[in-house]
Amino acid sequence: MTSQRMRAVLATTNAGKVRELAGPLADFGVDVVGLDHFPHIGDIVEDGLTFEENALIKARTVAAETGLVSIADDSGLEVDALDGAPGIHSARYGNDWELLPGENRDDRNIRKLLYALRQVPDAQRSGRFVCCMAAVRPACLGGGELVVRGTWDGRLLTARRGSNGFGYDPVFLDPHLGRSAAELSREEKLARSHRGQALRALLARWEAFMHGAAQPSAD
């Protein structure tokens, strides 16, 4: 643990994500803030080819702009029957489809995914959520990068189940629990999810990273 508190930036304007990371890192003497504290940083172009690359692009950009340690994540859904799609394009997967009345972007993404899988039998509907987190210490603080990965294996359902969560949660079945991600409580989801795994991996390496011992990794 450190006796002197420092500040780190989470490369998001999502207050929920900031709170999720702020609690654990507070034990390491770190105060986490979001991008709303740095309005001069506009949209960051994520043109990497992998989750790791996109997380690093965001973290490097924010670290360079702020001079503070930056943390970023990139996540998505990989479906085996679709050759890994939607993958890094998960959030905008359905952008080429028209929104139906009452739909939001998540609804449209799910509609397109279920259509793409309409003829795929249950035994072949395997997939996984992936989350990569990157932490970057800017050159003014000695430099350094750390990348970790979390995965959550499951199966894609043929129809929605549950009302919790967001994104593809209603059609992603956790085979161990026998429930969709949208049927899990927040605590259950954090214990099982790709994001929870990545967060725990990041925290396990945090002190070594801050002391310059960590090297980029994704395991």
Per DSSP, which regions of the chain are E strands? 6-10, 30-34, 69-79, 126-137, 144-156, 172-174, 179-180
Q: In what order do the strands lie in the sheet with 179-180?
A: 30-34, 6-10, 69-79, 126-137, 144-156, 172-174, 179-180
Establish whether 74 is a catalytic residue.
yes
Among candidate residues 27, 31, 36, 74, the one labeled active-site is: 74
Instruction: Decide if 18 contacts 10 (C-beta within 8 A).
Output: yes
Spatial distance between the Cα atoms of 8 and 81, rounded to a whole number of angstroms: 39
CB 60 within 8 A of CB 144: no
**Catalytic site positions:** 74
